[in-house]
Every structure is written in C-alpha cells, then in structure tokens.
Amino acid sequence: MRLWKKAAGALKDRNSILIASISRRSAYRNPDLEAVIIKATSHDESYLDYKNSQRVFQWVRTSPIYVKPLMWGLSTRMEKTRNWVVALKGLMLMHGIFHCKTPGVQMIGRLPFDLSRFSDAHSKQDKVEGYNVFIRAYFLFLDQKSAFLAAEMKVQRGLRLKQMEEPLVDELSRLQKWQSLLDMLLQIKPPAETTIVTLILEAMECAIVEIYDVYSRFCSGMAHALLRIYEDGGKVEASMALRILQKARVQSGELTRHFEFCKYIGVLNATEFPKVEQVPEEDIKDLERIIDGVPKRKSIDGMVMPQEDKAIVVKGNGDIVEQRESKRILRTIITDKWEVFEDNLMSDWGGSSSDVRSTTTTASSNALVTFVPASSNQDIPDLINF
C-alpha cells in the first residue's frame, strides 16, 4: 500500500511537470520555474528536495520579474493539492522565499493561496488530522508574516520620504504585532507523537530559526521603545509598554517550554537553545512610575537620575559590557562562530539596508531557512535593562 502511494505520487508529479512544460510562457507563467516548484514540492514524504528548493531561491534573487510567475506556480500547486506532504513542502518553500529578503517578495501581502482549512483527502482522517492541524498553524503564521512584511515596508518607506521618526505609539503597536507573531510560531508543533516524522521535524527547524529572529527583534525594539518612553513618553505610551512587558513575561515561560519540547523531539536547532531571561523588575517599576506621574528614576539618596542611552556588547562567554551611547543603542553579539551587528533598531522587520546581517561557517548550505547558531552560554533577554 505504501509503495503504491509512493508510485502514484511520483506519477502525479511527472504529469504535472509535463503539463507545465507545454504551457505558454507569459508574465505570470514560467514553465521552467513551475517545473522546479513541482520537484521541490513532490509527493515523496521521505525527503525534502533541497537542490530544487535552492534553485527556486536563486530564481527569486535573480530578478523581481520572477516573483509573479513564482507565486502563480506555487499558488496553483497549493490550491490544487489535497496531500499533506505537498502542502507542507509548499509552506516550507514559501518560508524560505521570505528569507531571500527581496523587495518584491516582501510586498506580496496576504498569501495568494489559503490553507487555513486544509484537510488531507488521501488518507484516513484519524491518521492525518495531526498533519492537518500542523499545516493550518504553519499557514496562519506565514500568511500573517507576509501581511506584516508588506505593511512594514510601506510604513518605513513613508517615514524615509518624510524624514521623520516613527510615532512612539506606532512603534509600540508594532511590538504587539511581533508578540502576536511569536504566539503563532509557538503553535507550530506536532500535536501528537505519531506526527513526529522527518518532514515535520524539518518544518520545526525552520520555525525555531524564525522564533530566534522574531524574539531577538522584539527585544531590540522593546529596548529602543523604552529609551524613548524614558526620554519623552507619556502615560499612554507607558501603559502600552507595561502591557507589552507583562505579556513578555508570560511568553518567556512559553518559549522555555517550547524549546525544551523541541529539543526532546529531536529538533537540531533547539539542541543548544539559549536561556530565556525574565523581564527585569526595574523596567516594570519604571513604567509604573511614569504612569503614576513620576517620570524619572531616583537614586538611593533621592536625587533624580537622568536616563542614559547605552551600547551593549554581549560576548560569547556570557559577559555583558555596557557603554554609553547618545540617542541610540548599538548592540553587538560576538561568539566564536558568528558575529551580528545591529546598527539600527528602527529597521523594518522584513529586511532593508539596515537589516540584521549574519554570517556563519557552520550552517548547512541546504537549510531552507538559514540558522545562526547560538553560543551555549549566551542568553536571550526579554529586553535590555536600563
């Protein structure tokens, strides 16, 4: 039975490639690209075709004119399939496309296909329901991320044209959206032990990398927002920030449990997950002072102390060195294997000239979503304590 299903899946893929090869080339259709997409999202559940996935990414990076035929080909594939393997491979491919960080991809908006009610039609429901739940959760995150990327691109372009700083309330609203995205990411997990198979683990590898990225950007954005609140924020902004920090406290515990679960089931990117620190109590108290009408911190002897901007260097051995910096934060993370510079915390999440850049010599060249390894001694703070 299993061999028959594999042969039937291979035949479907072959027929789809044949149909694509004789289709007419246009602005929305590229037969060669469609064939590569079909190969990258084959019915074979025993492996993921990294070679053809990388070929798709190369098409995207080559020119923005390939974005339309790419989305047409992938959307057609996703809308037609009732097979959980093809659907999951398509979502993983879409996830990798986002990480190509080309402007055309980041302006897609909501995904042009819908898997929010996906249900496999080729197996008994009691056997595939776990896969269906996983795919729906994965799609929900990618769909919302795509919409978020497009909205952020528009906002950042507008701010650059007007040469103005983003309103503090808008910055805090964006942090709340990041927290919502993190909640969605934490829902991407196998609901039952029977669904812990190779493809699910591959998707979990991508999701873990995304968690590192989203959470670190949230921490950096929260640090920047707190600086602005301490300098000239009012009660409204302080109240919003307080709610965000309270939710961050809850999420820190959820993150720790999620990392432990991923490590238990064998997700490689979670084997040395960094320790998640709790939200500093001092930040909570500072916001409460502002809400109560006391905007400045006070020293032990009662003297008013000005707020200071800082540069924070986190070294691979876990040591933290703080240096003073005017009107911004410069955060440099250094380990034995990689180095990341965050020059501008106001950068848009999807990637621009101020994006976070990272390099690694240990990450697999096959990975759909590039993983930057974390030092075993490095902590991920919920935010930076001022």
Domains of the chain, first to last: 1-164 (1.25.40.90)
Pairing between β-strand 310-315 and β-strand 304-305 as defined by DSSP bridges: unpaired
**pLDDT of 357 higher than 50:** no
Query: How many angstroms separate the CA atoms of 96 and 209, rounded?
Result: 11
Mean pLDDT of the 153-164 span: 79
In 3D space, the residue among 115, 367, 92, 98 whose CA is nearest the CA of residue 214 turns out to be 98
Residues 53-98 pLDDT 10s: 999 999 999 888 889 999 999 999 999 999 999 999 999 999 999 9
The phi and psi torsions of 339 (rounded to 5 degrees) equal -145, 135
Supply the pLDDT for residue 369.
66
Supply the pLDDT for residue 244.
93
294-301 own/partner pairs: CB under 8 Å, 24+ apart: 295/230
The phi and psi torsions of 311 (rounded to 5 degrees) equal -105, 135
Residues 115-153 pLDDT 10s: 999 998 877 877 889 999 999 999 999 999 999 989 988
Query: How many angstroms separate the CA atoms of 235 and 241, rounded?
Result: 10
Alpha-carbon distance values, 47 to 82, 197, 351 (Å): 19, 10, 30
Query: Which of 17-21, 220-224, 258-262, 361-365 is predicted with the least confidence, judged by mean pLDDT?
Result: 361-365
Identity (one letter) of the amino acid at 374? A
In 3D space, the residue among 289, 299, 164, 301 whose CA is nearest the CA of residue 230 turns out to be 289
Contact status, residue 48 vs residue 95, Cβ threshold 8 Å: no
Contact status, residue 360 vs residue 333, Cβ threshold 8 Å: no
| DSSP string across 106-161 | HT--S-SS--TT---SSS-HHHHHHHHHHHHHHHHHHHHHHHHHHHHHHHHHHHHH
Question: pLDDT category, 366, cuts 50, 70, 90?
Answer: low
- What pTM was estimated for this model as a whole? 0.76
Mean pLDDT of the chain: 77
Which token pair is 227?
Answer: 């600086």
